[in-house]
Amino acid sequence: MNVAIVGVTGYSGTVLWRLLNQHPNIQRVNIYTQQSDLTAVSKQFNWVSDQSINVFKFDIADIMTNNDAVFFATPAGVTGGYAAELMNNDFPVIDLSGDLRLKDPAQYKKWYHQEPNVSHETLSKVTYGLTEFTAATATYIANPGCYATATLMGLAPLVQERLIDLNSVIVDAKSGVTGSGKKLSRATHFVDVDENFAMYKVNQHQHIPEIMQQLREWAPDMGPIQFATGLLPIKRGLMATIYAKISDEVSDVDDVIASAFRATYMDKPFVKIMDNQIPDLRLIAGSNFTAIGWSYNPVTRVVTVVSVIDNLMKGAAGQAVQNFNKYFGLSETAGLTQLPDFV
């Protein structure tokens, strides 16, 4: 199979390029760019043999003619303009940007602070590709955001089984600096990040509406969540710490929680359930795994769930490849078998 990548120069795009080049079912990875100087893109990979670097001028027709699927690892505001044409041609797309995750264009305008360039009709044909919970059957797959992935994975069993008060959810999520993208800013300057910790976009992060959209598919009466985000002084990794009040009707809480998580993820190869152990970022760094643990306080009847992922893998490129595998009926773990770095 041949696949195309648009947007390879960002952190997620670079990791995606590496994953696709090691994928056992992919023969060729073609890079497409809107830059006029094609060599500027190939120089990013100049430590690799020239034979493995295929850079072309961006052209939708050429992408569809010479590839079996395309991955967009572009900033918000790019892919929406091409979505309808790709869908009309039934061409498989895995979109890592946020352009088509939200079903309501008004929500996109509110949270992404730019005009949507995609119609309601087009949005209705998109699959939200949270891989553990979707069949990924539509040709256009919107890859979830990193904060959304970790949060939804940690909340899914509790919400689906109605084990918690649906109006009691508080999420405190923290990500490595690569989660902010490659564009330079004061917030990601080494001097400001190193030996520091800062909150940002508290209750304003653009991943909040996709989290609520999915939670309300599982539970239509789901209440709003309190959602805070912070920037860790590390390159990669994301921890979502979730607090929720256990429903009054639930007894034998520890056993019920354990059973719900194990039943939900028993056949999911990239989810590791740790029960009453709290995972740390080292357990998943560099891998496509999600590790989930929890602690229940019987005095307050509050459960604390900790969900950790690598924001560039399960939070972006790794999940994109997982979606690709599911769409084409391949082994879900193809190209994703690397273990965590651990050190």
Strands, sheet with 271-273, edge to edge from the N-terminal-most edge strand: 198-200, 226-231, 170-175, 238-245, 302-309, 290-297, 271-273
**Catalytic annotation on 146?**
yes
What are the phi and psi torsion angles at 43 (to 5°)? -65, -25
DSSP string, 205-241: -TTHHHHHHHHHHH-TTPPP-EEEEEE-SSSS-EEEE
Residue the block writes with tokens 């998580």: 261
Q: What span, in angstroms and rounded, lies between the C-alpha atoms of 149 and 113? A: 22
C-beta separation of 16 from 71 below 8 A: yes
Q: What span, in angstroms and rounded, lies between the C-alpha atoms of 192 and 200? A: 13
Q: How, if at all, do strands 198-200 and 28-33 pair? A: unpaired
Helices (H) and strands (E) counted in the chain, each on its own, are 11, 14
Q: What span, in angstroms and rounded, lies between the C-alpha atoms of 164 and 11? A: 36
DSSP reduced 3-state for 289? coil
C-beta separation of 158 from 244 below 8 A: yes
What are the phi and psi torsion angles at 68 (to 5°)? -95, -15
Distance in angstroms between the alpha carbons of the first and the last residue of the chain: 34
C-beta separation of 253 from 246 below 8 A: yes
Of 136, 138, 133, which Cα lies nearest the Cα of 157? Answer: 133
Catalytic residue among 15, 20, 102, 146: 146
Residues annotated catalytic, as ranges: 146
